[in-house]
Amino acid sequence: MQEDTTTHASLNAAQQRKGRMIFLLLAIFFTVPLVVVVAMIKFDWRPSGKSYGQLIQPPVSIASTSHWLTDDKQAVPAFWQDKWSMVLIAGECDARCMQRLHDLRQVYVSLYKDMIRVQRVLITQQADTRQIRDQYPDLLIINGETEQIDTVGRMLSGGGQNTLAAQRVYFIDPLGNIMMQYDLEQEAKWIRKDLVKLLKASWAG
């Protein structure tokens, strides 16, 4: 009986050690990617090789913002969480904006297995988005709160250029940090190259 009790206690202790080890590994798996992203921003570190976009300096975070609404008035409090976001900001989505949305879709589709780590987002003040929705049904369109969009525009207005008119593309990480920006003149293939390098360098998303 004494031997059985000792064996049972040993098994319980072994199971507890195994459980703690699994918990520790899970904690490391989910925490390290976020630490890496924060370090990339804090120390101005970029993936090796040439980057084609412009690094946002000083860093801009939208993590504290809220009240985001989609074009069908659905709340999306933190739309950037869990994925990397390719975000196009445009006051009105004209022909140039529509072409850019086409470019972003091509970039997205070309990611293959990494598609699940990325989402496409349009932030706009345009009231009628039916045509955009018809062409890009899987695009996240945010246009519900004009004040919120104006705030983001002011946060990103570098060099005095109106962000809503500039129609730039931005990379936002899963922590809400706006990391890179691309002018309209930047070709889609260079946006893709930078995005692929970011996805390889980060486990987040």
For residue 92, the domain's CATH number is 3.40.30.10
pLDDT of residue 8: 52
Q: How far apart are CA 163 and CA 150, in angstroms?
A: 9
- pLDDT, residue 48, reads 52
Q: What domain range includes position 62?
A: 46-201
Q: Could you state, in chain order, the average pLDDT of each consecutive group of 10 residues for the chain (205 residues)?
A: 54 65 63 57 54 81 82 87 92 94 96 93 92 95 79 69 84 90 92 91 66
Q: What is the pLDDT of residue 152?
A: 80
On whether both 93 and 15 belong to a single domain, the answer is no
Smallest CA-to-CA distance from 167 within 118, 113, 199, 123 is with 123
Residue 24 belongs to what H/E stretch? helix 2-42
> Which of 65, 91, 97, 61 lies closest to 78, judged by CA?
65
Residues 140 and 105 in one domain: yes
pLDDT at 29: 55
Residue 65 and residue 134 in one domain: yes
- SS3 for 181? strand
- Token pair, residue 189, equals 């293939």
Amino acid at the residue 93: C
